[in-house]
Structure 1
């Protein structure tokens, strides 16, 4: 059984959904400490001027867990984000099919940044048709940290393989995982090219996944095909 883990981020890039698609179980690390340099409340979309960051204001104190960080809805960020998204994507092929559901989730949100992010992810995961089981780490009652915590989660879930992001290569040890009966592997996702709006700007590869969905719909077969081509050519 393949397990992957990631903190709940705001409208994340396609690479995260690729990792989810290649996992039997995906765990939201929602009880990790909130980081001001992470993507818990920010991500990028494409505009006629280039990339633009959408950032949600949050009420956060040092040491807060992600699940306890509240979005500051009184600052009217919902209307601003939704209007910005609509202004830049209303002419895309799949705007009318995706925007109403995204609008509903954002406008009706009331609570933590973690819940907002997971609700948006749920919409996207269902759209792509993944059958991955989704779990929250806060439901697992595991209190270790860093690599040890990842391994403990995998063991508790009965994982035979842990699918990691490439950014963790610097601090993860194959031996530590193997000692607990788990194979450590890394995602082979590479940013793919697809048809984007605003071609004059050029292709921007690290946008939120909503950029792909507005332009290409929930065509996951194309994602898999293009990643395979980047990794292995036409073999």
Structure 2
């Protein structure tokens, strides 16, 4: 995901190992793989990375438009909306360091950003790429194999997984499934009512490294999650 919301970093904080599914299929429509919301004086605004689509392809083959126009536009937008935030300069320097890397692939940009921001907040999770594992199965079987590759006994996931995951398969292999139990804890924000679903850049700008205390959600067992949905 592109500079994702705080919820993804809550998953990272809870996990011993976080696997970037970089060889999963790139969504055909709009997605958070290459766009994200930020706050502005006029509700929300989108930051979008333009990409060169070539039909159905894995995320790690998606090439970004190789010019600095969109990067410069993003930086200008962030400066316009967050220059008055207490930790704007720290956020801006971090983004600059990411955008100055000679990267062509969207997955490389997203992975670099997620890992740099995790380090900024002091999250010590180990990061791995699924493309490095050589696992060729699909869907739930693939996820299970990835977990077993690291002798894992728990899989922490976001809410979207309920639409496709085979819970019984995991149980039969003694792997617990835990869904995120998002607290959406409010932190100081600019521009009116609190919005928990904007980019992590918002937390970084407004709270600095102390923002790690707001990365505080837990999990609930899959049976409890589905029962209460």
- TM-score normalized by the length of structure 1: 0.87
Matched with 1:207 is 198
Q: How many residues align?
A: 217
How much does 1:60 deviate? 1.6
Partner residue of 1:24 out of 16, 23, 32: 16
Secondary structure of the residue aligned to 1:185 is strand
Asked whether the 8 Å contact 1:155–1:180 carries over to 2, the reply is no
How much does 1:184 deviate? 1.1
Secondary structure of the residue aligned to 1:131 is coil
Asked whether the 8 Å contact 2:6–2:215 carries over to 1, the reply is no
- TM-score normalized by the length of structure 2: 0.90
Asked whether the 8 Å contact 1:57–1:75 carries over to 2, the reply is no
How much does 1:88 deviate? 0.7
Give unpaired runs (5+ residues) of structure 2.
219-229
Partner residue of 2:179 out of 173, 186, 192: 186
Dislocated runs of 4+, deviation >6 Å? none
How large is the Cα RMSD of the aligned pairs? 1.5
User: Does 2:175 correspond to 1:175?
Assistant: no
Partner residue of 2:83 out of 61, 67, 90: 90
Question: Aligned partners of 1:222, 1:174: CA distance in 2, in Å?
Answer: 31
Moved more, 60-69 or 12-21: 60-69
Matches within 5 A, 1:62-211: 62-74=55-67, 76-199=69-192, 202-211=193-202
Asked whether the 8 Å contact 1:43–1:208 carries over to 2, the reply is yes
Asked whether the 8 Å contact 1:51–1:204 carries over to 2, the reply is no
Give unpaired runs (5+ residues) of structure 1.
1-8, 229-235
